[in-house]
């Protein structure tokens, strides 16, 4: 819904985006859009690959999510997706605002910690499968 304050959206809203509106996570010199940052950036692709998520190349995020959910076939898909996106965003912000390096290790540690922290929100009958899934991939 174009509410994520990517560099592209900040520039559209006439904010001064310094030094440019390119993705800070990758070196591909791509415009930092929400689709690039969360799906197409090489760092994001590595995150999704680590989780075993497969995405189609639709420009519509809703179609990507719908098809991703069908491909993955796990009942806790949306919760995992939200946490993964949140941690990609946090790694990006950590780089911009604190000068921290972008690393898969940092993302993995933060992702796993966040999943375990949010486990109380998961239906009781799905908690064990979530933990087993998490242990199997990380």
- Are the CB atoms for 76 and 126 separated by under 8 Å? yes
What lies within 8 Å, CB to CB, of 34 at 6+ separation is 2, 4, 6, 8, 9, 61
Mean pLDDT of the chain: 92
pLDDT of residue 89: 96
Write out the two tokens for 125.
């009958």
Confidence of residue 18 (pLDDT cuts 50, 70, 90): confident
- CA dihedral (33, 49, 55, 65) positive or negative: negative
Distance linking the first and last C-alpha atoms of the chain = 31
Confidence check: pLDDT of 1 > 70: no
Least confident of 10-24, 25-39, 89-103: 10-24
């Amino acid at each position: 819904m174009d509410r994520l304050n990517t560099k592209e959206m900040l520039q559209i809203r006439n904010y001064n985006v310094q030094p440019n509106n390119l993705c800070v996570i990758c070196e591909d010199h791509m415009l930092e859009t929400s689709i690039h940052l969360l799906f197409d950036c090489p760092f994001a692709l590595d995150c999704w690959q680590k989780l075993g998520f497969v995405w189609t190349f639709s420009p519509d995020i809703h179609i990507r999510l719908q098809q991703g959910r069908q491909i993955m076939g796990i009942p806790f898909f949306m919760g995992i997706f939200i946490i993964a996106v949140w941690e990609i965003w946090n790694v990006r912000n950590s780089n911009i605002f604190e000068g921290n390096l972008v690393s898969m290790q940092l993302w993995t540690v933060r992702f796993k910690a966040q999943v375990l922290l949010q486990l109380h929100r998961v239906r009781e009958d799905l908690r064990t499968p979530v933990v087993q899934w998490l242990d199997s991939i990380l």
